[in-house]
């Protein structure tokens, strides 16, 4: 039959000697085993953080947003910083699952499931901030355009903040559907090999009665492709719209047209860093080093150095335009209040973490070093948090009226709220890592015979063959 | 739906499955379905299935979203409550683009997934007959329907000759029913009458 050939110059995507059954064993196995001590410790820490976050939010709702250290000059502080940071992190998951699917990048199969899960959890965390920032949160549904008894008085469709409501909720819904439709066949795999009654029952419900019928696979492929096609412009639109929250205002430092591409690149940059952080730990603990290989880590580090450099160019463009435009307010915002002034320290943390440090990934040796990658991924996440902090707070704290100039540092409920979203994120991720197939089993099987190590080794003899003979042997079957 | 009799052959390699499908179809047997653990490209064509129209449905849902968003926002801002927002026009088309785009994507995605679920008859608590528990693991399972013209023994021998590893006879419900996966459901009192008796 047809020869599944891929050049041996390309690294294998699945290491070791594998067949289809072994793939199932390796990936579904951890679901069936008892979780280790580390899992319980991690989960307890996450739940504690979540509870502390819930308490901080309760405090804020009970006493009002006044318990946050926002003032009339700095109206957006940690809350919106965290919102933009979390949304940005989500973007890498969609990039891997959708954009790389359209570009036919085989390596996405090893990491897409976990990355998409990360997207969903990150967007859940992000959504908390604008909602609880409303203060009178019981009126949060006022953002929805529903017929009401106040006229009906509708929402303002001209407002980027309302666009955000639509963008984030659509993004969450579509990501969830995409992720879950991909999970159905894998849940069926868990169901059909389940030994315990409870597992059969629960995975039976979750798999929706999937059988693996050829017609269903055909529709499933079509669905995945179209959802990928829809998610690609969607993910670009989401951070574009988030950047409109700033770019459509008249605040010096926000009012710039490069914001949409600059934000999208930054989002992918921070998202890939978070994927690295999570997967380096996950592959180690679940023993999935043969599926999430050094090659995968290398590929993601290349994306990090690319997007990090795009972000760097954006920073420099901002500085250049602030001077070249000849607008005094722009110049002051960038050179006097951002790169200098009381908040200048945050600008340099941002520059070092986002622009300077990722440049080490031009070296192949460092890209393929797990410890270096792990440390870098944390540095990039810190840097990207500071980018949002710099954009938001250092543009606000010195406005047009010097008498209202102020400084901003967070109060404990703001910090607690942020820690709480970490709790939410990691609680979800721990449950995901234990009860869900962390790698897309069916997708790995579909690339196994082209990109698995033991199958690639069989291709060596074909590569040494004479071209004429090879064509004769393979072409007409 | 219907209780039918099948001869079921399991293959462990898609390279054996393809020629087998070809030969089984050429011999005139009716393939009920082939169950695979992952999407095997070209198998739908080998089985003679037509292309799915799911993407067309997705397009229709998408333009429904576009028109819903545009007409709703225009009606609100020009007719129902024309609000003066900083002296801006009542019909600011560029400002409508983001929400219009989001609703296009939302309608299309949700609609397609619902249609997919409906066409494949999938939902929580839906149960279907699984011909082989390893059809979601590492086996490619072909179910051949027995009609009045086919004899089970003959089909079994034929499947053996085309390379099936495991061959057996099963009586099964072809449709779905509601139930729990941890329980065996008794759907019919006795095996259906062999039609070729």
How does pLDDT run across B1-42, given as a tens digit for each residue? 688 899 999 998 888 999 999 999 998 889 999 999 999 988
Cross-chain Cβ contact B80/A154 below 8 Å: yes
Interface of A with B in 403-422 (CB under 8 A): none
B73, A140 Cβ separation under 8 angstroms: no
B159, B10 Cβ separation under 8 angstroms: no
Q: Any idea which residue has 């008859």 for tokens?
A: B121
A199, A190 Cβ separation under 8 angstroms: yes
Of B49, B73, B76, the CB nearest to A215: B49
CA distance A20 to A42: 32
Q: What would the two tokens of residue A307 be?
A: 């997007």
Give the Cα-Cα-Cα angle A287, A290, A291 (nearest 5 degrees): 95
CA distance A373 to A300: 10
Q: Kindly state whether B34 is in contact with chain A, defined as any CB-CB distance less than 8 angstroms.
A: yes
Residues of chain A with confidence (pLDDT) below 50: 1
DSSP-assigned states of every residue in A329-372: HHHIIIIIIISSSTTHHHHHHHHIIIIIGGGGGGSHHHHT-HHH
A20 CB-near residues (< 8 Å, 6+ apart): A445, A448, B37, B137, B138
CATH class, range B3-49+125-178: alpha beta
Going from N- to C-terminal start, the domains of chain A cover 1-18+452-477, 20-137+155-451
* Beta bridge partners of residue B187, listed in sequence order: none
Burial of residue B44 (CB within 10 Å: 0-12, 13-18, 19+) is: buried
* Beta bridge partners of residue B144, listed in sequence order: B7, B31
Give contacts of A185 with chain B, Cβ < 8 Å.
37-38, 136
Pick the CATH number of A20-137+155-451 from 3.40.50.150, 1.20.1630.10, 1.10.10.10, 3.40.50.300: 1.20.1630.10
Q: Kindly state whether A234 is in contact with chain B, defined as any CB-CB distance less than 8 angstroms.
A: yes
CA distance A59 to chain B (A): 34
A475 CB-near residues (< 8 Å, 6+ apart): none
Q: What would the two tokens of residue A271 be?
A: 């998202």
Inter-axis angle of helices A78-94 and A108-133, nearest 10: 160
Give contacts of A212 with chain B, Cβ < 8 Å.
35-37, 135-136
Going from N- to C-terminal start, the domains of chain B cover 3-49+125-178, 54-119
Please give the span between the terminal C-alpha atoms of chain A, in angstroms, as a whole number: 6
Determine if the pTM surpasses 0.90: yes
Give contacts of A200 with chain B, Cβ < 8 Å.
181-182
Q: What would the two tokens of residue B112 be?
A: 């397609």
How does pLDDT run across B66-105, given as a tens digit for each residue? 999 999 999 999 999 888 888 888 899 999 999 999 999 9
Interface of A with B in 110-149 (CB under 8 A): 145
**Residue percentage of chain B with pLDDT more than 70:** 95
Q: How far is CA A309 from its chain centroid?
A: 19
CA distance A46 to B185: 41
Give the model's pLDDT for residue A245: 93
A438, A114 Cβ separation under 8 angstroms: yes
Q: What would the two tokens of residue A368 be?
A: 């393929």
Helix or strand (DSSP H, E) at A435: helix A412-435
* Beta bridge partners of residue B168, listed in sequence order: B8
A440, A67 Cβ separation under 8 angstroms: no
CA distance A251 to A273: 30
CA distance B184 to chain A (A): 11
How does pLDDT run across B124-134, given as a tens digit for each residue? 999 999 999 99
Cβ pairs bridging A and B (under 8 Å): 204
For residue A65, how many C-alpha atoms fall within 13 Å in the half-sphere facing its CB? 17
CA distance B106 to A219: 19
Give the model's pLDDT for residue A151: 81
Q: Measure Cα distances from A459 to A12, A19, A473, B22 in Å.
A: 12, 16, 14, 27
Q: Is A189 strand, coil or helix?
A: helix
Q: Kindly state whether A220 is in contact with chain B, defined as any CB-CB distance less than 8 angstroms.
A: yes
Give the Cα-Cα-Cα angle A184, A122, A187 (nearest 5 degrees): 15
For residue B125, give the chain A residue with the closest CA: A205
Q: Kindly state whether A224 is in contact with chain B, defined as any CB-CB distance less than 8 angstroms.
A: no
Q: Kindly state whether B95 is in contact with chain A, defined as any CB-CB distance less than 8 angstroms.
A: yes
**Chain A interface, mutation test: which of B37, B57, B95, most A Cβ atoms within 10 Å?**
B37
Give the model's pLDDT for residue B197: 46
A134-144 per-residue burial string, b: 16 or more CB within 10 A, e: under 16? eeeeeeeeebe
Q: Kindly state whether A98 is in contact with chain B, defined as any CB-CB distance less than 8 angstroms.
A: no
B54, A226 Cβ separation under 8 angstroms: yes
Q: Which of A244, A291, A310, A294 is nearest to A439 (CA)?
A: A291
CA distance A341 to chain B (A): 34
CA distance B142 to chain A (A): 10
How does pLDDT run across B165-194, given as a tens digit for each residue? 999 999 888 889 999 998 888 777 665 555
> Phi and psi for B169 in degrees, rounded to 5?
-110, 135
CA distance A369 to chain B (A): 33
Helix or strand (DSSP H, E) at A64: none
What is residue A439's DSSP assignment? S
């Amino acid at each position: 039959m047809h020869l599944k050939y891929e050049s041996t110059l390309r690294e294998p995507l699945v290491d070791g000697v594998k067949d289809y059954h072994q793939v199932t064993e390796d990936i579904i196995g951890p679901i069936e085993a008892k979780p280790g001590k580390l899992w319980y410790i991690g989960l307890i820490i996450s739940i504690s953080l979540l509870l502390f976050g819930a308490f901080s939010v309760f405090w804020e709702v009970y006493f009002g947003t006044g318990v946050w250290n926002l003032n009339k000059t700095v109206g957006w502080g940690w809350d919106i910083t965290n919102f933009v940071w979390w949304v940005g992190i989500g973007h890498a998951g969609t990039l891997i699952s959708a954009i790389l699917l359209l570009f036919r990048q085989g390596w996405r199969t090893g990491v897409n499931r976990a990355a998409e899960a990360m997207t969903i959890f990150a967007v859940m965390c992000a959504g908390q901030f604008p909602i609880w920032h409303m203060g009178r949160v019981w009126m949060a549904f006022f953002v929805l355009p529903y017929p009401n008894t106040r006229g009906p008085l509708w929402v303002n469709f001209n407002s980027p903040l309302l666009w955000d409501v639509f963008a984030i909720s659509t993004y969450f819904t579509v990501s969830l559907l995409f992720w879950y439709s991909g999970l159905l066949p894998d849940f069926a795999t868990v169901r059909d090999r389940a030994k315990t009654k409870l597992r059969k029952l629960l995975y039976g419900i979750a798999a929706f009665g999937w059988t693996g019928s050829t017609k269903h696979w055909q529709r499933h492929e079509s669905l995945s492709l179209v959802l990928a096609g829809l998610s690609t412009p969607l993910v670009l639109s989401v951070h574009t719209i988030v950047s409109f929250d700033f770019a459509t205002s008249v605040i010096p430092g926000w009012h710039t047209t490069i914001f949409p591409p600059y934000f999208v690149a930054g989002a992918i940059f921070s998202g890939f860093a978070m994927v690295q952080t999570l997967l380096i730990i996950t592959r180690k603990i679940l023993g999935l080093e043969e599926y999430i290989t050094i090659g995968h880590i290398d590929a993601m580090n290349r994306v990090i150095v690319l997007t990090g450099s795009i972000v760097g160019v954006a920073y420099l463009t901002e500085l250049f335009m602030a001077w070249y435009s000849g607008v005094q307010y722009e110049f002051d915002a960038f050179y006097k209040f951002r790169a200098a002034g009381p908040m200048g320290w945050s600008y340099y943390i941002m520059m070092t973490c986002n622009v300077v440090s990722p440049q080490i990934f031009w070296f192949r040796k460092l890209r393929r070093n797990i410890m270096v990658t792990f440390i870098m991924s944390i540095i990039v996440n810190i840097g990207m948090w500071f980018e949002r902090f710099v954009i938001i707070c250092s543009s606000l704290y010195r406005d047009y009226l010097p008498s209202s100039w102020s400084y901003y540092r967070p109060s404990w409920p703001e910090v607690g709220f942020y820690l709480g979203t970490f709790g939410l994120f990691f609680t979800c991720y721990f449950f995901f890592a234990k009860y869900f197939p962390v790698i897309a089993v069916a997708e790995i099987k579909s690339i196994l015979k082209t990109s698995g190590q033991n199958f690639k080794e069989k291709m060596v003899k074909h590569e040494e063959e004479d071209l004429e003979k090879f064509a004769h042997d393979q072409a007409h079957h | 739906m219907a209780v039918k009799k099948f001869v079921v052959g399991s293959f462990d390699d898609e390279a054996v499955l393809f020629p087998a499908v070809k030969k089984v179809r050429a011999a005139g047997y009716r393939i009920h379905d082939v169950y695979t653990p992952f999407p095997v490209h070209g198998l739908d064509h080998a089985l003679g299935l037509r292309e799915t129209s799911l993407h067309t449905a997705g397009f229709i849902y998408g333009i429904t979203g576009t028109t819903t968003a545009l007409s709703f926002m225009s009606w609100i801002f020009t007719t129902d409550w024309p609000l003066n927002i900083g002296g801006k026009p009542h019909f600011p088309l560029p400002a409508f683009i983001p929400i219009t785009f989001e609703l296009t994507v939302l309608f299309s995605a949700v609609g397609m997934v619902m249609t997919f679920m409906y066409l494949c008859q999938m939902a929580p608590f839906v149960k279907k007959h699984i011909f082989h528990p390893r059809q979601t693991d590492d086996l490619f399972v072909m179910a051949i329907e027995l009609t009045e013209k086919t004899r089970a023994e003959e089909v079994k021998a034929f499947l053996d000759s085309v390379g099936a590893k495991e061959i057996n006879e099963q009586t099964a419900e072809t449709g779905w029913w509601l139930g729990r996966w941890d329980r065996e459901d008794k759907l019919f009192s006795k095996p259906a009458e062999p039609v070729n008796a």
